[in-house]
Structure 1
């Protein structure tokens, strides 16, 4: 699995290179935005770790440029903590956002989740988590071998999460997927449908293990 680390902090890049290489990742590094785009085109990394504050081209510009030709997962790793920065990065095409400083175990977990996606989970005919199997072709959900009835809206919400396992799916993404417009306001509808999905699919709906909320941002399906 090849990773492109785009960050202008040489100490962080060196630390990540050593740590991630020890976990079997092949590392390519870029110290500015322009080099990040060139390296991505030449090296074709499986996943991209990207800082927002880089010289020449900032992270948002890099994301926009990359999304013109590659669907490789992008994890933004940034010291910016404001929700506006996170929303801007996700709207530009990033798949996830990790705030510095971070625990390496958390980053490794995010990488594993996005690795499954980049290796073809997105195209799988079925997605399984816990005792639940979601057949994306037949549009059938079963739990512990028994079919689970979902409303059309619940299905669309679950299907969209299943097609992006491990990745943060923003509320705006879901609103557009379900109602066909990102201009629809979320008046608690998504929270209501997620609550219903958890009741039907989670072993402990009040403490979900798979259908997770990212406060202020959206939702994430953890396999």
Structure 2
């Protein structure tokens, strides 16, 4: 998944980022509301984690602007404020859940997973597409109950396409998701990942469709 963290406590920001990257996610981070708004408007995310007490643009206003820009991904609030009014204000601004500092990293990860499942309309950690099962928590893929060995990039490519089932995903969008911003991006590698995926998972059943000139669409008749 592609996640955004907006947190001005640098040590906490680093801890959260490292925790999420260790789980295989691509994470962008910002230390102020203005920088956070730039990232939120320029890139497509699966979830944003936003502190309320931000410099430049506070968390409440940042959330309002993100929602005003028609960004509908889940938002998790981090707040040191214990008053229930602040939490309510954040939720009314457009956030989906909150965590009060200090918190356990395991709770943060659990909240992130729950929000992403909810936004994807999933009640479990697995997606089932006929003979194909994708467990995004364990990073496990099975075809006809047989485990398919995928590289990290192959799994992330498949997960992203499946998460946006039925929608056309461009090569640029996939590239932004797969590579951190400080790495050189090469959209041609997307064709390699998709080609390898097709050889591994499409044995008599087509899941990944090429939309000429636009990108790829994951489909499976329900």
- Return the TM-score normalized by structure 2: 0.53
- Paired with 1:97 and 1:50, the residues of 2 have a C-alpha distance of 9
1:96 aligns with 2:97: yes
The aligned runs of 1:54-203 (5 Å cut-off) are 54-68=54-68, 69-118=70-119, 120-121=120-121
For the aligned residue pairs, the C-alpha RMSD in angstroms reads 1.4
Q: Give the distance between the partners of 1:43 and 1:11, measured in 2 at CA.
A: 24
1:20, distance to aligned residue in structure 2 (A) = 1.0
Structure 1 runs of 4+ off > 6 angstroms? Answer: none
Q: Where do 5+ consecutive residues of structure 2 fail to align?
A: 125-222
Alignment match, 1:171: none
Distance 1:76 1:8 in 2: 13
Residue 22 of structure 1: aligned partner: 22
| Deviation of the 1:52 alpha carbon | 0.4
Deviations 1:79-106 (A, max 9, x none): 1111010010011110001001101111
Aligned residue pairs total 123
> Are 2:4 and 1:4 aligned?
yes
1:52 corresponds to which residue? 52
Distance, in Å, in 1 between the alignment partners of 2:92 and 2:19 is: 30
CA drift of 1:74 comes to 0.4
Give the distance between the partners of 1:28 and 1:34, measured in 2 at CA: 14
- TM-score, length-scaled by structure 1: 0.53
**Displacement, 1:24?**
1.4
Deviation string 1:189-221 (CA, Å, 9 cap, x unpaired) is xxxxxxxxxxxxxxxxxxxxxxxxxxxxxxxxx
